[in-house]
Structure 1
Amino acid sequence: MPVVWEWDVGERFCVLDGVQNVDDEYQLSKGISRADGFPADASFAMSAKHRKYVALADNISNLNRALVVSRKLKEAIEARRPRDVEFLRVSIFDHKQKLASNDYFIINPFNVIDCIDKDKSKYRWNNIDPEKMSSCTRLVLKPEAIHPELLLFRPRHLEYYVLIHPDLAAALEDEGFTGLRFTPIDEFES
């Protein structure tokens, strides 16, 4: 069963504001391909609310809930050849607007799978967007809807979350990447 890709900010890693210089940035959390015409000056700035934290993790929390990852983590995933996933280069600026790194990427899985068992899950629909769940306290997936070799995807109705194959999650944890946390489906709450 897949697990939910999340962030482990810890006590030292930076947190990012929203992506800058990207039109329709909301698409980055909807499972929409953005590779064509993605701007070369796409960037994130470290959050002023977290001024003490400046260290760059391999997986960085941000307001867009995008998967912002280091080149090393990107290459580890890319080497496994996930389907329907794109890697979009972004820069990161520190609290003083100085370039901290231009070697980070948004991992954008654009495969949206209708895999939530709505009869067994416990959730509330969003009042504004009737196709989105605003909260989910019990997530149950339909295993038959998920191809067993699918490495990264987004669940329909909760597209701003990315689900990852448990073998890939375990391999990434074993490789010691920082800022990663994977939550089992039965422990997930949004």
Structure 2
Amino acid sequence: MPVVWEWDVGDRFCVLDGVLNVEDEYQLSKGVSRAQGFPADASFAMSAKHRKYIALADNISNLNRALVVSRRLKDVIEARRPRDVEFLRVSIIDHKKKVASDDYFIVNPFKVVDCIDKDKSKYRWNNIDPEKMSSCTKLVLKPEAINPELLLFRPQHLEYYVLVHPDLAAALEEEGFTGLRFTPIDEFES
């Protein structure tokens, strides 16, 4: 069963505001391919609300809920040749408005899978967008709907979350990447 990709900010890693210089940035958490024409000056600024935190993790939390990862983490994922996933280069801007790193990437899985068992899950529909769940306190998936070859994908109705094949999650945990954690489906709440 897949697990949910999450962030582990801890008490030392930076937190990022939303992505800069990218039109329709909301698509980065909706399962939309953005490789075509992705801007070379795309960047994220460290959040002013978290000025004490400047350390760069391998997986950095941000307002867009995008998967912003270090080159090392990206390379490990990319080496497994995931289907329907793109890697979009971004820079990280520090609190002094200087480039802290230009070697980060958005991992953008754009495969959306209709895999939520709506009869067994507990959720509320979004009042604005009736195709989206606004909260989910019990997530149950339909295993038969998930292609076992998919390493990363987004569940329909909760596209801003990324589900990860358990073998990939185990390999990433074994590498000891910072800022990264995975939540089992039966412990997930949005």
Q: 2:162 is aligned with what amino acid?
A: V
User: Aligned residue for 2:162?
Assistant: 162
Q: Distance in 2 between matches of 1:99 and 1:33?
A: 26
Q: Does 1:174 find its partner at 2:174?
A: yes
Q: 2:63 is aligned with what amino acid?
A: L
Which stretches of structure 1, 4 residues or longer, exceed 3 Å deviation after superposition?
none
User: Aligned residue for 2:132?
Assistant: 132
Q: CA deviation at 1:148?
A: 1.0
Q: Which secondary structure does the structure 2 equivalent of 1:128 belong to?
A: coil
What does the per-residue CA deviation read over 1:115-135, in whole Å, with 9 as the maximum and x for residues that have no partner? 000000000000000000000
How many percent identity over aligned positions? Answer: 89
What does the per-residue CA deviation read over 1:19-59, in whole Å, with 9 as the maximum and x for residues that have no partner? 00000000000000000000000000000000000000000
Q: Distance in 1 between matches of 2:58 and 2:153?
A: 20
User: Aligned residue for 1:90?
Assistant: 90
Q: Distance in 1 between matches of 2:77 and 2:151?
A: 9
What does the per-residue CA deviation read over 1:137-190, in whole Å, with 9 as the maximum and x for residues that have no partner? 000000000011210000000000000001100110100110001000000000
Q: Which secondary structure does the structure 2 equivalent of 1:89 belong to?
A: strand
User: Aligned residue for 1:63?
Assistant: 63
Q: 1:99 is aligned with what amino acid?
A: V
Aligned residues: 190
Q: 2:109 is aligned with what amino acid?
A: P
User: Aligned residue for 2:17?
Assistant: 17
Q: Which secondary structure does the structure 2 equivalent of 1:181 belong to?
A: strand
Q: Distance in 2 between matches of 1:164 and 1:74?
A: 14
1:103-122 equivalences under 5 Å are 103-122=103-122
Q: 2:127 is aligned with what amino acid?
A: N
- How big is the alpha-carbon RMSD for the aligned residues of Structure 1 and Structure 2? 0.3
Q: Distance in 2 between matches of 1:135 and 1:188?
A: 11
Q: Which secondary structure does the structure 1 equivalent of 2:19 belong to?
A: coil
Query: What are structure 2's unaligned runs of at least 5 residues?
Result: none
Query: What are structure 1's unaligned runs of at least 5 residues?
Result: none
Q: Distance in 1 between matches of 2:98 and 2:157?
A: 38
Q: Which secondary structure does the structure 2 equivalent of 1:106 belong to?
A: strand
Q: Distance in 1 between matches of 2:176 and 2:185?
A: 22
Q: Distance in 2 between matches of 1:135 and 1:63?
A: 17
Q: Distance in 1 between matches of 2:149 and 2:21?
A: 34
Q: Which secondary structure does the structure 1 equivalent of 2:77 belong to?
A: helix
